[in-house]
């Protein structure tokens, strides 16, 4: 049958390991998708100016997009386990690109919710889970580092996208900017998807470092959790809530930091550069904390990064000058990058790899639910108080909850080891 995978006998490890191609393709996909999606804040003021919507109403489209992305991430995770990432990511690339192109035709609020909230949300569901799950399958050794390299694509995207998009909007208006952005995203994402493969067994290979599993007495695949088994553990729901905290704080900031800076009478282009700085440092956080996680474990990286995130938010609240916002962006971006790097490896360490795509897809809904609630609540608080201070306090409170959950989380009894 066309969709049935052929598992060949394992070959000797080749001179060039194809897992690195998977890493590069996944990196490119995050480069071309993460920045355009999180750049919604750059379109915020043009949309408000043209249509007169409230911030809560406008933020709601981003929140809906994150919710759809998260819920369908469950489906996509299961489809990735069954059919592999190439087909899944190709279809999603077509949808996310089409959604952006059609955003140029928005003339009513329901158009915004349908196109950005639903169509782009469906397309984005193929951006994260298939990439993270595939990399986890290709690498046993260096798993956190390779995941960090892939997620550095999100930081690279956020580094280069805001300055480009802000200049596109200034030169061509927001409608044509969405057309250009959608065409670029569609072409590159679909092309990169053709190089993805679900796991090494499709090529008769073993995951990188798998030969050390038996030598070191590490848990084998026979101990892996099924999805039904995983949801009955406390660790599943603790990991879900950890990602909720991360999504709430990070996406509330991503969507509203540019409008907040503009409220402080900082120019739109300079405000966009705050996102760019955050993205540049996010790359450093991916790389550094990925390597650190391979040494001290993923749970401790969660703890360190939540502490940094809360500290950054306490610096943000009294900040009034651009240089202070840049300092915030450096600390917050590094922390966000570190957390993103260790999500997938943490799930692999807790539950194994046999059902990793589905388990991680469901746990990642925690991130997207937080990312749905955070931006909407921040916009609502501003509408009611004409200030973002209450919104940033709520983000800090959620970050403290993340610290507590990081301290509580322990390995599953079946797999044990360090997480």
245 is a domain residue: yes
State mean pLDDT over 379-387: 92
Dist. CA 115–CA 105, nearest whole Å: 10
Could you tell me the residue range of the domain that residue 285 belongs to?
Answer: 19-198+223-408
Q: Any idea what the Cα angle at residue 108 is, between residues 103 and 113, rounded to 5°? A: 60
pLDDT over threshold 70, residue 218 = no
- Give the pLDDT mean for 27-50: 90
pLDDT of residue 1: 41
The token duo for 220 is 């084998």
- Which DSSP category does 116 fall into? I
Q: Which residue has the higher pLDDT, 140 or 384?
A: 384
200 against 261, higher pLDDT: 261
pLDDT at 120 over 60: yes
Per the structure, the count of domains in the chain is 1
Query: 35 lies in a domain?
Result: yes
DSSP 49-65: HHH---HHHHHHHHHHH
Q: Can you give the pLDDT at residue 213?
A: 52
Is 251:66 a contact under the CB 8 Å cutoff?
Answer: yes
pLDDT tens readout for residues 280-338: 898 888 788 888 888 898 999 999 999 999 999 999 999 999 999 999 999 999 999 89
**pLDDT tens for residues 165-193?**
988 998 999 999 999 999 999 999 999 99
State the pLDDT confidence band at 7, using cuts at 50, 70 and 90.
very low
Bigger pLDDT: 291 vs 398: 398
Does pLDDT of 380 surpass 50?
yes
- Highest-pLDDT range among 53-67, 126-140, 145-159: 53-67
CA nearest 312: which of 339, 291, 341?
339
Residue 13 lies in a domain: no
Query: Interior CA angle at 394 toward 392 and 397, to 5°?
Result: 115
Identify which has the larger pLDDT, 44 or 113. 113
Residue 266: give its domain's CATH number. 1.20.1250.20
C-beta of residue 347 within 8 angstroms of C-beta of residue 412: no
| Residue reference for tokens 């994402």 | 189
Is 152 within 8 Å of 115 (Cβ atoms)? Answer: no
Dist CA 164 CA 183 (whole Å): 15
> 2 in a domain, yes or no?
no
Is 204 within a domain?
no
Alpha-carbon distance 379 to 256, whole Å?
Answer: 8
Instruction: Report whether pLDDT(391) > 90.
Output: yes
- The more confident residue out of 314 and 275 is 314
Would 404 be classed as within a structural domain? yes
- Has residue 2 got a pLDDT over 50? no
pLDDT given at position 3: 45
Q: What's the pTM value of the predicted model, to 2 decimals?
A: 0.77
Kindly state whether residue 137 falls inside one of the protein's structural domains.
yes
What pLDDT is stored for residue 212 in this prediction? 60
Kindly state whether residue 419 falls inside one of the protein's structural domains.
no
Q: What is the pLDDT of residues 49-62, one digit of tens each?
A: 899 999 889 989 98
Rounded mean pLDDT, 53-72: 89
Q: Give yes or no for residue 6 having a pLDDT over 70.
A: no
């Amino acid at each position: 049958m066309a969709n049935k995978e052929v598992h060949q006998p394992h070959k000797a490890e080749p001179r060039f390991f194809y897992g690195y191609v998977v890493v590069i393709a996944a990196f490119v996909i995050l480069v071309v998708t993460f920045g355009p999606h999180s750049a919604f804040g750059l379109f915020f003021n043009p949309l408000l100016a043209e249509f007169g919507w409230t911030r809560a109403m406008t933020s709601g489209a981003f929140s809906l997009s994150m919710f759809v992305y998260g819920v369908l991430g469950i489906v996509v995770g299961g489809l990735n386990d069954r059919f592999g990432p190439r087909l899944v990511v190709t279809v999603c690339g077509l949808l996310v690109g089409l959604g952006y192109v059609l955003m140029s035709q928005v003339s009513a609020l329901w158009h915004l919710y349908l196109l950005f909230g639903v169509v782009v949300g469906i397309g984005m569901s193929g951006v994260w889970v298939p990439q993270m799950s595939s990399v986890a399958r290709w690498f046993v050794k260096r798993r956190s580092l390779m995941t960090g390299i892939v997620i550095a694509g999100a930081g690279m995207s956020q580094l280069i996208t805001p300055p480009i998009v802000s200049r596109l909007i200034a030169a061509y208006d927001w409608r044509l900017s969405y057309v250009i952005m959608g065409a670029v995203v569609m072409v590159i994402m679909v092309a990169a998807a053709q190089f993805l493969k679900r796991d090494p067994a499709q090529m008769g290979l073993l995951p990188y470092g798998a030969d050390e599993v038996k030598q070191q007495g590490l848990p084998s695949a026979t101990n892996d959790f099924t999805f039904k088994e995983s949801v009955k553990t406390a660790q599943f729901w603790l990991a879900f809530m950890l990602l909720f905290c991360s999504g709430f704080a990070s996406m509330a900031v991503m969507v509203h930091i540019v409008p907040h800076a503009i409220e402080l009478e900082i120019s739109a282009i300079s405000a966009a550069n705050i996102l760019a700085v955050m993205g540049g440092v996010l790359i450093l956080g991916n790389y550094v904390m990925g390597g650190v996680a391979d040494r001290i474990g993923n749970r401790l990286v969660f703890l360190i990064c939540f502490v940094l995130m809360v500290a950054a938010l306490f610096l943000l609240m009294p900040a009034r000058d651009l240089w202070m916002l840049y300092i915030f962006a450096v600390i917050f971006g590094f922390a966000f990058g570190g957390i993103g790097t260790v999500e997938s490896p943490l799930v692999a360490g807790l539950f194994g790899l046999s059902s990793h795509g589905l388990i991680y897809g469901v746990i990642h809904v925690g991130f997207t639910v937080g990312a749905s609630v955070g931006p909407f609540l921040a916009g609502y608080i501003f509408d009611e108080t004409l200030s973002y201070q209450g919104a940033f306090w709520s983000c800090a409170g959620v970050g403290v909850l993340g610290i507590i959950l990081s301290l509580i989380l322990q390995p599953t009894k079946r797999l044990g080891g360090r997480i």
